Structure 1
Amino acid sequence: MCAAALALGLLAAPAQAAAEPASLHGAGWALKDTGKEVRFRGLAAVSRTTAWLAGFKGTVLRTVDGGRSWSDVSPPAAVAQALELRDIEAFDSRRAVALSIGEGEASRILRTEDGGATWSETFRNPDPRAFYDCLTFFDARHGLAMSDPVDGRFRILSTEDGGRTWRVLPTDGMPEALPGEAGFAASGQCLVSAGPKDVWLATGGGATARILHSSDRGLTWTATDSTLPAGDPARGVFALAFRDRTRGLAVGGDYRTGQASPQAAALSTDGGRSWSGAATPPPAYRSGAAWFPYSDRTALAVGPTGTDVTTDGGRHWRSLDPGSFDTVDCAPDAGCWASGEKGRAARLEPRG
């Protein structure tokens, strides 16, 4: 089915949509066998045919045929050192940038220009106090990476050449972090961007779960409290998704199995200056979120206990699938992908 037809099927709503606002019809996750058992928390959807996965033990996979087959394009050094790759950003089927997490030198950035045939290490964290969590790119040249607080402030790394070189930005414009505040390297979505200069950073672990916003590519930031659960190292905002400079979603909760996560989603219509809790949030912790292309109101949220969908911009969520996923990403041609534990990867496809 072509992308336009799939979009029409996904967005087809019943006449009673006002009474049942969060319904997604005619589509569901179709699992794609990766041949791996590692957990894939890093995901980059390029199109309906092309996607990249990044996960534990330095593993990177790539498909260019819609998931029918996967090429193991893992960086040899990352595999040898069992690096935990938690984020990957891809520009096309050949160019991608991956982030490994951990304290000190475990945090690294790797780049490929030939579909993963070869990789270059372009950053290795020299500071034992820093722990990098997420990457984002504004375009093919300009991007940022974020670290948990160092000396009381989140640290931002910047590139202006597509990830070939990186520099630490000054922290003068960064608000002080709360005691215990940090980011969650759960889905590669604790740092997200929209447009040429706007970027948002999600936090947890502190007394409140906050969302920080910069409109100048990470030089200056403002912090806003979210409505998501906080007050514990396991609670906070785990993922953000912005449709544009104004419309955003936040999901998270408490990642511990069996712990309740009320108010696990929030929305913003003013670029993150304020946040409102979802009237009907997902029923449990969610670690990833993505807007569906061709729609200003439809988005997906995923977590270990299932996938939820909203068709009213995040006010109401409804269950779509019970399967476990950690992250989700949608390409401009309506190619939506999800990945997670035990090598799971899937593409959103019509049912029946």
Structure 2
Amino acid sequence: MTSMGKTRRTVALALGLSGVALAAAFTGPPAHAAAEPTGAPAWQLKETGTEVRFRGLAAVSRTGAWVAGSEGTVLRTVDGGRSWRDVSPPAAEGLEFRDVEAFDTRRAVVLAIGEGEASRIFRTEDGGATWTETFRNTDPRAFYDCVTFLDSRYGLAMSDPVDGAFRILSTRDGGRSWHVLPSAGMPAALPGEAGFAASGQCLVGSGPKDVWLATGGGATARVLHSADRGVTWTVADSTLPAGDPARGVFALAFRDRTHGIAVGGDYRTGQSSPRAAAVSRDGGRGWRQAYTPPPAYRSGVAWLPHSGFAALAVGPTGTDLTTDGGRTWRTVDSGSYDTVGCAPDFGCWASGEKGRVARLEH
């Protein structure tokens, strides 16, 4: 198990910009820098009142978002980040939340990571006023990293390998109940291979049946794909750094069942990540290294809505933008973020260390 795993068409009316126009305009100064307004979109920090690290993020809209992080903390906003409500599950202070998936501002599922019973899933239907624990891992060999939903009913969660293969949980009732899928359709894991619980994006879906799983820690950083909601899987090598427990694919984003982006690298401070991004145009069967990748390790990635070419990648040293589908990237902000997500109405959010949460503003 990796050490990071353990720590681990509407146009956007509110912005007045299309996806392509927004990408072209995202050249403003960092949100934390003192500068005159330029009219270009940029991250604007939202005060959360806490110092915990938020690696879990669910962007619902420009006004609604959930973040989940250390010390069992879950926050929710319904007013665009002007205020945040602490909706943490009771007695969760010792848990590490690394992923949150929200259906709206009332219904959400959060995943706590860790060995054995530290891995748990909670669900709320009333905006976090009450929570129900719907899964608690009882296998000391399992360590759950990420959860994703294909729609309001079907969802999957993934664990690091058990008995030589990644373990997959499945729900068909919106996260109210979970069961372990058979492992017969899962390729064998490489020695040392695992997932990274760094941004809630090591397991992602697109459409009603397609799911992708990102790996690291092995001799090759790989991407696994299922076209049947996690029953059977194929596997492909990526071009991202590998061969070390700190290296691999940390996050995936697919804008449809064909076009995907992978980001990652080496998460250790000061270590180079010369191949921190790759792209796929065939549903993850093959990956090509980005011609101009981000300059350093990136842990989160998201496509900008209503654009087939623009996406954002984030990491501890900054935010990068691509406007050509992941082929080339350029840094547009130097702030530290762990994960990023966008809602259909162009509500784009990012979160990370020291309570940092930001929304893309114009």
Q: What is the TM-score with the length of structure 2 in the denominator?
A: 0.92
Q: What SS is found at the alignment partner of 1:315?
A: coil
1:182 alignment partner, one of 176, 190, 194: 194
2:89 alignment partner, one of 54, 75, 89: 75
Aligned counterpart, 1:239: 251
Q: Which deviations, in whole Å up to 9, do the C-alpha atoms of 1:120-152 show, x marking residues without a partner?
A: 000000100000000000000000000000000
* Residues 330 and 336, structure 1, Cα contact 8 Å, conserved in 2: yes
Q: What SS is found at the alignment partner of 1:76?
A: coil
Determine the C-alpha separation between the residues in 1 that align with 2:51 and 2:17: 30
Aligned counterpart, 2:34: none
- Cα offset for 1:2? 3.3
Determine the C-alpha separation between the residues in 2 that align with 1:77 and 1:6: 43
Q: What SS is found at the alignment partner of 1:58?
A: coil
- Cα offset for 1:7? 3.4
Confirm or deny that 1:262 pairs with 2:270. no
1:28 alignment partner, one of 42, 57, 61: 42
* Residues 25 and 40, structure 2, Cα contact 8 Å, conserved in 1: no
1:58 alignment partner, one of 67, 72, 85: 72
Confirm or deny that 1:3 pairs with 2:3. no
Aligned counterpart, 1:204: 216
Determine the C-alpha separation between the residues in 2 that align with 1:257 and 1:13: 30
- Cα offset for 1:78? 1.2
Determine the C-alpha separation between the residues in 1 that align with 2:340 and 2:259: 18
* Residues 208 and 225, structure 1, Cα contact 8 Å, conserved in 2: yes
* Residues 3 and 335, structure 1, Cα contact 8 Å, conserved in 2: no
Determine the C-alpha separation between the residues in 2 that align with 1:152 and 1:192: 22
Q: Map 1:214-253 to 2 at 5 A.
A: 214-253=226-265
2:333 alignment partner, one of 300, 315, 321: 321
Determine the C-alpha separation between the residues in 2 that align with 1:77 and 1:291: 35
Q: What SS is found at the alignment partner of 2:345?
A: coil
Q: What SS is found at the alignment partner of 1:57?
A: coil
Confirm or deny that 1:155 pairs with 2:133. no
Determine the C-alpha separation between the residues in 1 that align with 2:179 and 2:17: 42
- Cα offset for 1:3? 3.2
* Root mean square deviation of aligned Cα: 1.2
- What one-letter code is carried by the residue in structure 1 that aligns with 2:135? F
Confirm or deny that 1:45 pairs with 2:59. yes
- What one-letter code is carried by the residue in structure 1 that aligns with 2:123? R
How many residues are treated as equivalent by the alignment?
338
Q: What SS is found at the alignment partner of 2:18?
A: helix
- Cα offset for 1:330? 0.3
* Residues 23 and 321, structure 2, Cα contact 8 Å, conserved in 1: no
Determine the C-alpha separation between the residues in 1 that align with 2:96 and 2:287: 32
Q: Which deviations, in whole Å up to 9, do the C-alpha atoms of 1:228-257 show, x marking residues without a partner?
A: 000000000000000000000000000000
Determine the C-alpha separation between the residues in 1 that align with 2:175 and 2:276: 33
Determine the C-alpha separation between the residues in 1 that align with 2:265 and 2:293: 11
Q: What SS is found at the alignment partner of 1:267?
A: strand
- Cα offset for 1:13? 6.5
Segments ≥4 residues shifted beyond 2 Å: 1-4, 6-9, 11-14
Q: Which deviations, in whole Å up to 9, do the C-alpha atoms of 1:49-98 show, x marking residues without a partner?
A: 0000000000000000000000000001212xx10000000000100000
Q: What is the TM-score with the length of structure 1 in the denominator?
A: 0.94
- Cα offset for 1:294? 1.2
Q: Which deviations, in whole Å up to 9, do the C-alpha atoms of 1:175-203 show, x marking residues without a partner?
A: 00000000000000000000000000000
Distance 1:13 1:69, change over 3 A: closer
Q: What SS is found at the alignment partner of 2:283?
A: coil
Determine the C-alpha separation between the residues in 2 that align with 1:90 and 1:7: 25
Aligned counterpart, 1:120: 132
Q: What SS is found at the alignment partner of 1:5?
A: coil
- Cα offset for 1:4? 5.4
- What one-letter code is carried by the residue in structure 2 that aligns with 1:171? S
- Identity over the aligned pairs, expressed in percent? 78
Determine the C-alpha separation between the residues in 2 that align with 1:206 and 1:123: 28
* Residues 236 and 252, structure 1, Cα contact 8 Å, conserved in 2: yes
Determine the C-alpha separation between the residues in 1 that align with 2:158 and 2:73: 22
* Residues 44 and 359, structure 2, Cα contact 8 Å, conserved in 1: yes
Determine the C-alpha separation between the residues in 1 that align with 2:97 and 2:297: 22
Q: What SS is found at the alignment partner of 1:10?
A: helix
Q: What SS is found at the alignment partner of 2:91?
A: helix
* Residues 7 and 334, structure 1, Cα contact 8 Å, conserved in 2: no
* Residues 25 and 41, structure 2, Cα contact 8 Å, conserved in 1: no
Determine the C-alpha separation between the residues in 2 that align with 1:341 and 1:6: 30
- Cα offset for 1:26? 1.7
